[in-house]
Structure 1
Amino acid sequence: MASDLAKRIRLIREAETSGRAEFSQLIGISKKTIEGMEQTGRTPKGELLEAVCNTWPKYTLWLMTGQVNEEAGQISPEIEKARKAFKPTGTATD
């Protein structure tokens, strides 16, 4: 059974990058480590968690607890995807 942390890291990767290679480059952790965590579902080590939190601090609370606090800027990948998909409408012409 995959750990909740491994599942959440995968969701962050899918929301923020085009794949494992880009994700591993951005966080400075080998692609092989990311693949191993995702394929086995093993709980990620502190170094990986710290790298993800340092790269995307907006996900720290959600990554560690599964909770969000939008007022404090702590969101989930689902919220980020919805924000990116939202296109403001209106009558402005500039």
Structure 2
Amino acid sequence: MSIETSEKLKLIRESERMNRRQFAELTGIPYGTLSGYEADGKEPGFNAIQKIFSQPRFRKYRDWFMFDEVSPESGQIAPVLAHFGQGDNGLPPSDQKTG
């Protein structure tokens, strides 16, 4: 399952609890350009990707972003995908309550 680049950028930003303005300021990518990546589906170039992953805060998502791979033992993870919900695994819902 490959996710569009625009959605990946948004997931990284939201997982870090940042708004577009904060993400743009931290990475040095102009706000309007970032908005174009996320909302209009424009593909970021090498320089933009380099700006993002030169930030230590985002390096943990690099393998997931580039290759759709994670390696937790190496510190490479995927952002929280909670807003995608659970996939259908064919099992009936649990009657267990959480929280």
Q: Which residue of 2 aligns with 1:87?
A: none
CA deviations on 1:31-64 (whole Å, 9 max, x unpaired) are 0001111121121111111111111111110110
Please give the root-mean-square deviation of Cα atoms over the aligned residues, in Å: 1.6
* 1:37 pairs with 2:59: no
Q: Would the aligned equivalents of 2:6 and 2:39 in 1 still touch at CA under 8 Å? A: no
1:13–1:32 Cα change, 3 Å: same
1:61 corresponds in structure 2 to 63
Q: Who is 1:85 aligned against?
A: none
Aligned-pair identity in percent equals 32
**Residue in 2 that maps onto 1:5:** 5
Query: What is the match of residue 90 of structure 1?
Result: none
Q: Which amino acid aligns with 2:34?
A: I
Unaligned runs of 5+ in 2: 82-99
Which runs of structure 1 show a deviation greater than 4 angstroms over 4 or more consecutive aligned residues?
none
Alignment size in residue pairs = 77
CA distance in 1, matches of 2:60, 2:18: 19
The TM-score, its normalising length taken from structure 1, stands at 0.74
Secondary structure of the corresponding residue to residue 78 of structure 1 = coil
